[in-house]
Structure 1
């Protein structure tokens, strides 16, 4: 944003005795015990009346679900029929405030760019030509790989020396990402053959440094009572043995590539009690009892070549979900997350009773809870295009304008903005998506990563940039309903941009 604006946020407890006045609230959108919507902050909670609410800027810009942090602009209306004291119906400060808050506009918190958080410059100039950034959290080591202020500049120079300036060695600095790799499907194994064959060349400099395979690795949940159709642990191990058989046909690729496998909800051990439904996150990786054959394939390929001859040793990493890849310390952070988050957002998103009129058709159309995130009180004609692109410098994969975007692009923009504005991979209540609190910090997106791989099998494949964070979705490896088409992502580490690759079986 090039226009600096500020707004005054009112704590909910300060609404007492100020009936009829306008306020801006920032809090957690929740469902009260009475079944109505409410907003809560550290000082209290108040019921919401959203019958007059409307999308703030643009339409279909983001989802709003209970469990998310929201900004609501409206008017407080005191309940004069309450028989309790003026502190509220159920205790006042720290509890539920009497009355209701009538919301007129709603939006998400503004997204903060990574360079602002860590307090460094990413080369983006402001209006006065200044490229410096504030203090931020530059001395905080978020990943245990060193802080930005301590090692960031040195590791960036190392990155340029090894990878080359302007993408001189982009052949070795590529990542391949595949989503929904169902190993129990013969077409998936054939698609893996097709994809790996395109990268297994005699030129070692053209091989990708990392291949990421993201679950679910089976079509139906395994070990879910024996009636899931995918058998039990023995069958599941056979599926990974089939993957090992595919990998052994490309020994040159195994010697120079790191294979990363990220599980889904249908993989063990979570599927043993969830039957493929939403299980607790974060998740552990696939247990070692199923992965011995895959690891053996890499060990044999490295032994045949010899460590001294190759200089680089490939390996298989069965990562957690989500997982983080750090390249050159804090200089480059990649987050991998496998979850059908778009379908969950559609199921739980609130809808407003406000009717918006279509100027062309002249008929009322019900407006859902997909409000535009960003600062409240800005004119929509000047803010819509500003939020749609990665400002102020153009990016090759930036958001296009709403007029020229197709349905799949609009869906990608909506999903990306919802997740990044919340700065969390699971902005849902515990009843919708349980969280393992000992490892809940792994779900945070603050500061924003350099790249986010959001593998969602229910959403179209895309690669877009929002507020400096490049977000990609590989979709399904085997495209259903598109004949024999397969698809994956190819990510360039040097340019920090990815493209969707498609081929035919």
Structure 2
């Protein structure tokens, strides 16, 4: 299509094209001709031209625009080329530039109104994060944490290309970053202080208060200061690693020292190689080693959360869900406010917002206000059902699940149903017919759900793979199950999501961090100092919370993708930490850095519910939790 024809076509619609817009259109139709082997029919040209014009109209903020901007035309072309799940983000970017071109100024009152609406939306939505692309990267500057949101890929093809093990420097940074985060987190509390310079800050400014705090707080020394300690008992923070077999060392950012663990005792948790610990002991000049008497896993002081609905900016959202709501819905809400102020002339902006709302679900935001199924229920009645070892290739598993759904459809109204792997018994699948066998199991599962249409069509279904499930490498973060196997089930179930492992969710403002991995067996086996505390599950929960990492084991035991280690880190405790492990019975604890007493559970202290639903396949157990009530029910069939 030549330039004269393009100008004529846009003029017929009442638009004037700038030269740069004309260049973009000419280049697009030239590429289209090349893609079709220089054979392109007038009907094809007409169809593409109509779609571009339709997109141009949708992307306009005001009806009266005559001279088209470059960003509008460029965006209209990209809408034809981008995958469906990227359309909404592109439109928001175009609208942002459009409003900027028009010098639209949102005053303080309007900005406050937008934030209030976002706060309200966050408390009424389910937010599912794309773990590898939407988990914030935590940075430390001047001993203060902040976050960076780096979208690593836009399309599925780009995602496949970017999932690599990373450079050698990424492997080193994995452990440096973990130590840096734990040190920063400890320095924010009053239980520990680092060096004499920080002692006054932690102890308090009031003399009486300072003396009291000085007795309660513990100084943490750099490992390099051990050499001149002259037999004084010291307390150090560092990571343990192994040199030659049997020789252990402790290291911080600057120094390392050989350690003697013969007299060391551990109170709670599992200490392995690569664990970050607080060690108390004396440096022995003769041995040239730090003789440790006590090893402690770090304990943190969580902030009191008096008003969880208050929205934080992206820079302080260490989980990522609130930032996603702000990123996706913030511009949409501004457009709604803008269209309301424009009256009839805002009709096109209103059409755009309706279109974007339809795309919210594809981008991982499920607005409960748009579903009448849940509006008849009290919010405190909303529940989340969690199943692990949900072997859909096993008919006995499906039979048990059918009995549960019969009860749920008549008596309970689940908001979210989380199913975790392993979904397929890989050892029993014939490699020659893997797709046929897997599709048959998926069809059996779909046929079961079709019997319960109310649950099928209204619940939010989430599938979290086991690390050894089909699709992707057996490392963390584990990619989602192959989408091509679930094409039919996604076309029938409106609220169905395949997610990665680990998975991050926000449900009605409550944060969920979910992992399906068998760690307990390896943690117990790899202990370098035996912990005699008999509660295995409590030791496990304490280890994960203290290390601020979902896989605190040597990389040779539990490999991870180095440059995606941020997906396993967490700075603040989530509201719900789901650790599904086949080697443990069902359990649940209410913790901060310890199991809380009944009085502490009722206080405003930031609480974390740590739970394992158990194995549904082997022991027929699962867990039902009520996010807003903070109530957990352990169930079995």
Structure exhibiting the larger radius of gyration computed from Cα positions: 2
Q: Determine the structure 2 residue equivalent to 1:11.
A: 222
- Structure 1 residue corresponding to 2:413, chosen from 200, 207, 213: 207
What is the DSSP-based 3-state SS (H/G/I as helix, E as strand, rest coil) of the residue aligned with 1:424?
Answer: coil
| Equivalent runs, 1:36-435 vs 2, <5 Å | 36-56=247-267, 61-79=268-286, 99-113=288-302, 115=303, 120-121=305-306, 140-146=316-322, 168-171=378-381, 173-201=382-410, 206-221=412-427, 226=431, 232-270=434-472, 279-298=474-493, 314-328=494-508, 331-351=509-529, 368-369=530-531, 410-435=535-560
Flag as ranges the 4+ runs of structure 1 deviating above 4 A: 1-4, 136-139
Given that 2:276 and 2:547 are in contact with CA atoms closer than 8 Å, whether structure 1 keeps it comes out as: yes
Q: Distance in 1 between matches of 2:560 and 2:427?
A: 20
Given that 1:63 and 1:370 are in contact with CA atoms closer than 8 Å, whether structure 2 keeps it comes out as: no
Structure (1 or 2) with the greater strand fraction: 1
Task: State the shift of 1:184 in Å.
Answer: 2.0
Q: Distance in 1 between matches of 2:618 and 2:539?
A: 22
* TM-score normalized with structure 1 length: 0.66
Given that 2:319 and 2:570 are in contact with CA atoms closer than 8 Å, whether structure 1 keeps it comes out as: no
* TM-score normalized with structure 2 length: 0.53
Deviations 1:207-241, CA, capped at 9 Å, x for gaps: 11110100011233588x949xxx62332222222
Given that 1:222 and 1:233 are in contact with CA atoms closer than 8 Å, whether structure 2 keeps it comes out as: no
- Structure 1 residue corresponding to 2:627, chosen from 477, 493, 502: 493
RMSD, matched Cα: 3.3
Q: Distance in 1 between matches of 2:315 and 2:394?
A: 48
Task: State the shift of 1:195 in Å.
Answer: 1.6
- Give the 3 Å change call, closer, same or farther, for CA 497–437 of structure 1 in structure 2: farther
- Give the 3 Å change call, closer, same or farther, for CA 472–315 of structure 1 in structure 2: same
Task: State the shift of 1:478 in Å.
Answer: 3.2
Q: Distance in 2 between matches of 1:461 and 1:122?
A: 31
Given that 1:247 and 1:297 are in contact with CA atoms closer than 8 Å, whether structure 2 keeps it comes out as: no
- Give the 3 Å change call, closer, same or farther, for CA 70–412 of structure 1 in structure 2: same
Task: State the shift of 1:494 in Å.
Answer: 1.3
Given that 1:222 and 1:267 are in contact with CA atoms closer than 8 Å, whether structure 2 keeps it comes out as: no
Deviations 1:172-205, CA, capped at 9 Å, x for gaps: x11111010112222111111112111112x7xx
Structure (1 or 2) with the greater helix fraction: 2
Given that 1:475 and 1:487 are in contact with CA atoms closer than 8 Å, whether structure 2 keeps it comes out as: yes
- Give the 3 Å change call, closer, same or farther, for CA 430–316 of structure 1 in structure 2: same
What is the DSSP-based 3-state SS (H/G/I as helix, E as strand, rest coil) of the residue aligned with 2:271?
Answer: coil
Q: Distance in 2 between matches of 1:159 and 1:414?
A: 37
- Give the 3 Å change call, closer, same or farther, for CA 370–43 of structure 1 in structure 2: farther
Q: Distance in 2 between matches of 1:242 and 1:476?
A: 21
Given that 1:72 and 1:107 are in contact with CA atoms closer than 8 Å, whether structure 2 keeps it comes out as: yes
Q: Determine the structure 2 residue equivalent to 1:444.
A: 569
- Give the 3 Å change call, closer, same or farther, for CA 233–209 of structure 1 in structure 2: same
Q: How many residues align?
A: 367
Q: Distance in 1 between matches of 2:614 and 2:578?
A: 10
Stretches of structure 2 that go unaligned for 5 or more consecutive residues are 1-188, 192-212, 328-366, 593-606
Q: Distance in 2 between matches of 1:498 and 1:108?
A: 27
